[in-house]
Amino acid sequence: MPIHAFIGHSSGAMANTYALELSKNTAQLPTVEKLILIAGPNKLADIFASFTQAMQLPDSILRIFHQKLETIAKRKVENMSVVNF
């Protein structure tokens, strides 16, 4: 079944670009004709920094979160951006 469009808002916009990036080398997703991104962040690291600051969490929590995500994603958080994907 063809996918005509991916639509993502906020973090869903980044999730869509990340999914397409992952499937680029594995062909797990069919070709997507249109990609609609609404009010999405560009850099995941900026979102994490803003969140930990808003929640008044110590920098050590941010470092731990980065480490765990980098283990799962097998890439640096600093490289996780819509522009890079």
Q: Do 24 and 62 share a domain, yes or no?
A: no
pLDDT for 29 beyond 70: no
Which residue is it, tokens 């991916």?
A: 6
Q: Do 69 and 82 share a domain, yes or no?
A: yes
Q: Do 33 and 49 share a domain, yes or no?
A: no
**70 class by beta-carbon count within 10 Å (0-12 exposed, 13-18 middle, 19+ buried):** middle
Q: What is the pLDDT of residues 36-83, one digit of tens each?
A: 999 988 998 998 899 999 999 999 999 998 999 999 988 899 999 988
Q: Do 72 and 36 share a domain, yes or no?
A: no
Q: What range does the domain containing 3 cover?
A: 1-40
Q: Do 19 and 30 share a domain, yes or no?
A: yes
**pLDDT at residue 1, as a whole number:** 66
Q: What is the pLDDT of residues 67-78, one digit of tens each?
A: 999 999 888 999
What amino acid is encoded at 22 in this protein?
L
Q: Report yes or no on whether pTM surpasses 0.75.
A: no
Domain count, the chain: 2
Contact between 43 and 11 (Cβ < 8 Å): no
